[in-house]
Chains A and B, each alone.
Chain A
Amino acid sequence: MSQTASAPPPPAVQPGPAGPVASRAHAPERDVTEDTPRLLNRLQVVAVTVCLVFAVLAAVVQVLAFRADGRAADNTEQVVRVQEVRSLLLRADAIATTGFLVGGLEPADQRAAYDAAIDDVLGLLTDAADAQPADRAVLGDLNRAVSAYTTAVAQARDLNRQQLVIAIAYLNQAGSILREQALPAVDALVSANSARATDEMGGHHPSWLLGLALLALVGLWWTNRALAVRFHRRLNVGLLAAAGVVAVVAILGAANAGARASSNADTRDGPYRTAVDEAAARSAANDAKAAEALGLVNRGSGAVYEENAFDPAAAVVEENASPITLNAWRQYVEQHDVVRQRDDRGSWDRAVELATSEADDAPSALLAEVDATAAQVTEENAALATDGFSGGGALTLGLALLTLLGGLAAAGAATWGVNQRRREYA
């Protein structure tokens, strides 16, 4: 086909017979008698609209995907942030409960470590509130629970220093506040932000782009067919060019969307999952250490704490920890078992001695190693996940812009193509 082929004479403008009866009688001949300039105008509007709607919608799909990537990265950071809050709270509790066992002689460095953990928690709560407005109400509740927890710990410390038995009740109350008020709020934040992150990870839809392109191509094909019927030319170069542009930008956009969707899935199943699991293991490890200490603080209840608190926490560590953390954890468990054996055999003093020992091979130091290892693994993988989700954004945005420009070019080509017919008619 060629635009240069001789065109048949355009159909003459035939005013239709007046009256509804005549109109109904000549309905089958309507296309023959239609006003050709008006028809060309309508076809041009259809073709341009198809190109522009495709361009805008396809660009919107890509911009939305770009923004979803950004939000996935932001939500991942929030997940890691609130999991860090969880880990630090339980780390602080493990330090406070273990320090309680040595009465008023809590080592200064342990006290400093507790204070640093709480300071970090308060800073992270502020950051989290800035990062996600939807979390602010729960973060406010969490902040109050943390304040109540630290107050109870401070009272327990003061009374313990005075060697009063009621101090144990205050320490238990602090633990209850932590586990019944603070941690449920943290868990809700982790759950909500994990769901948000996961939802946003699926923001790329190559099929949507291809579907939009298909609809646009159908619209251009229909326009071309309508022109062909009138002008006996099978193809219109302008419309063909427009279809080509639409197809090219759609394929480019879909290819990028497919690659990004695949990349996001890899990031979700890789570093993101590792970061989330490792943070859960880190929290659980500190929770287990707190249970070890509380089992000794509440003399005679060691077996109960072991069954109700330590064992479930240990199971979480075993299930979620990375190999390097798991190795450190199992070294801690060996020493923890010695603590329990001593307590179960009635050697409470020797159990406390080991549980509070500052030696490198004692439970406290081994648990600190677990905490540090897990924190590092979490941090590294969280950074990889965030980079993974936010990477490739420039290309996506560039393709969205290209889609818009391509749509405009396609509209221009369609306009030019229809104008060719208009000139032939004139």
Chain B
Amino acid sequence: MSTRPILRPAAALLAAALLLTGCAGYDATVVPSAAPETSGSGGGDTTEPCENDGSQLASYAPRAEAANSADVEAIRARGRLVAGVAADTELLAARDARTGEIVGFDIDLVDAIAAAIFGVPQKQGSKYVELKVITAAERFTSLQEGSVDVVVRNTTINCTRWQLVAFSAEYYPAGQKVLVGTDAGIESIEDLADKRICAPSGTTSIENIQQIQPDAVPVTAGDNSECMIKFQAGEADGVSTDDTVLAGLAAQDPYAEVLDTEQLTAEPYGVGVNAQQTDLVRFVNGVLEDYVADGRWKQSYDTWLRPTLGVDVAPPTPVYGR
């Protein structure tokens, strides 16, 4: 018998085998898509819906005896006022890289409160202050837990927050404005049509802009600073948030300015205090009256905010009635 008929399929088998042992290709590597973040309520939110009809600005009227109340005496006994502040909001509260100190409009007010508690001049007030840098989310919990005496961290007074903490009278009438490029040709709210305006996601700033200029294109970011990065990267034509925050951002960018318009919303800033410490609130309100009356408020405003905002702002008139 000839083996030739066998060799042919054998050769084919060998060829198939060689093919089989050839290069093995793998499926392309794939990056799994990120799981969507669950948006929890944050937990522990016990506030009730309410309406900001102006009554939220009413605080506790100053009383002379508040200076010797248990709330204030406890701070004196400790030897320092513990204040919750920011450290990354230029002009309001930010670290001066040259001195290492946290300085700004909010910090001047903290020093004034401490000076009044310990009976020293304003300039020495900082010696009696322990600044505790807190995040925005910690503003109310830190007061509720008692880890700070006051919170002076560009905090808007509203009726919802009154359910969590107490507030002083308004110490600065902030409001939403828009930051734009100096050479962008944007002079008014009307010019924002078809412009990309960035605001932190989850805030009402974008809605406010769209109500006033429906043709503006909303852009969102994690926070105000991220909006500023988008603006500097050309991914947004403007940033909209509190004018005080915008002033701080504009101060760090010579090609940015805060648009000189009416405030789109009112964001009245107040000093936060534990809801049970109403005597401390009364004391702080007394300090605020003196702070405005003797010109320290205007001096602080002229130092920190006016150079960038470019407008004169009158100190708010306190409202009491609680």
Contact = CB atoms under 8 A, between A and B. Distances in A.
Is chain B a partner of chain A in the same complex?
Answer: yes
Interface string A37-62: 00011001100110011001101100
Interface string A270-292: 00000000000000000000000
Contact of B20 (A48, A64, A71, A180): A64
A106 interface: no
Contact of A165 (B14, B90, B135): B90
B27 interface: yes
A300 B29 contact: no
A169 B26 contact: no
B13 interface: yes
Contact of B29 (A103, A137, A346): A137
A308 interface: no
Interface in A232-246: none
A385 B103 CA distance: 57
A348 B88 CA distance: 14
B1 A422 contact: yes
A126 interface: no
Contacts of B10: 49, 52, 56
B238 interface: no
A362 B234 CA distance: 41
A59 B27 contact: no
B275 interface: no
A333 to B, nearest CB: 24
Interface string B1-44: 10101100110011001001100111111111010000000000
A276 B226 CA distance: 36
A173 B226 contact: yes
B7 to A, nearest CB: 9
Given A165-B90, A169-B228, A189 B14 contact: no
B17 A166 contact: no
A299 B133 contact: yes
Given A52-B6, A163-B98, A300 B135 contact: yes
B249 A48 contact: no
A293 interface: no
B252 interface: yes
Given A132-B26, A166-B225, A300-B134, A188 B31 contact: yes
B11 to A, nearest CB: 10
Nearest to B20: A60
Contact of A166 (B26, B132, B249): B249
Nearest to B137: A304
B232 to A, nearest CB: 8
Interface string A149-172: 000000000010001111011101
Contacts of B130: 346
Interface in A162-205: 163-166, 168-170, 172-173, 180, 184-185, 188-189, 192-193, 196
Given A64-B20, A166-B252, A48 B3 contact: yes
Contact of A169 (B5, B28, B225): B225
Contacts of A188: 29-32
Interface string B130-145: 1111110010000000
B321 interface: no
Interface residues of B, number: 48
B252 A135 contact: no
A159 B252 CA distance: 9
Contacts of B296: none
A189 B1 contact: no
Contacts, number: 121
A52 B229 contact: no
Contacts of A411: 6
A95 interface: no
Contacts of B270: none
A298 interface: yes
A299 B101 CA distance: 12
Contacts of B150: none
B196 interface: no
A57 to B, nearest CB: 7
B81 interface: no
Interface string A382-418: 0000000000000000000000000000010001001
Nearest to B86: A300
A67 to B, nearest CB: 6
A338 interface: no
B1 A135 contact: no
Contact of B30 (A132, A138, A349, A422): A138
A192 B98 CA distance: 49
Given A56-B14, A165-B88, A168-B88, A63 B226 contact: no
A301 interface: yes
Contacts of B138: 300
B97 interface: yes
Contact of A67 (B24, B86, B226, B252): B24
Interface in B108-125: none
B87 interface: yes
Contacts of A164: 90, 252
A134 B27 CA distance: 6
A141 interface: yes
A418 B3 CA distance: 12
A45 B94 contact: no
A304 B226 contact: no
24 contacts: A53-B13, A56-B17, A64-B21, A132-B29, A134-B25, A134-B29, A136-B28, A138-B28, A141-B31, A165-B88, A165-B90, A165-B94, A184-B34, A185-B31, A188-B30, A188-B31, A192-B29, A196-B26, A299-B88, A300-B138, A304-B135, A349-B100, A415-B1, A415-B3
Given A159-B252, A168-B88, A300-B86, 9 more contacts: A56-B10, A56-B14, A60-B17, A64-B20, A166-B252, A166-B253, A169-B226, A188-B31, A193-B29
Interface of A: 40-41, 44-45, 48-49, 52-53, 56-57, 59-60, 63-64, 67, 71, 103, 132-138, 141, 159, 163-166, 168-170, 172-173, 180, 184-185, 188-189, 192-193, 196, 298-301, 304, 346, 348-349, 411, 415, 418-419, 422
7 shortest interchain CB distances as A-B pairs:
A300-B133, A169-B225, A163-B97, A299-B133, A299-B87, A134-B26, A192-B29
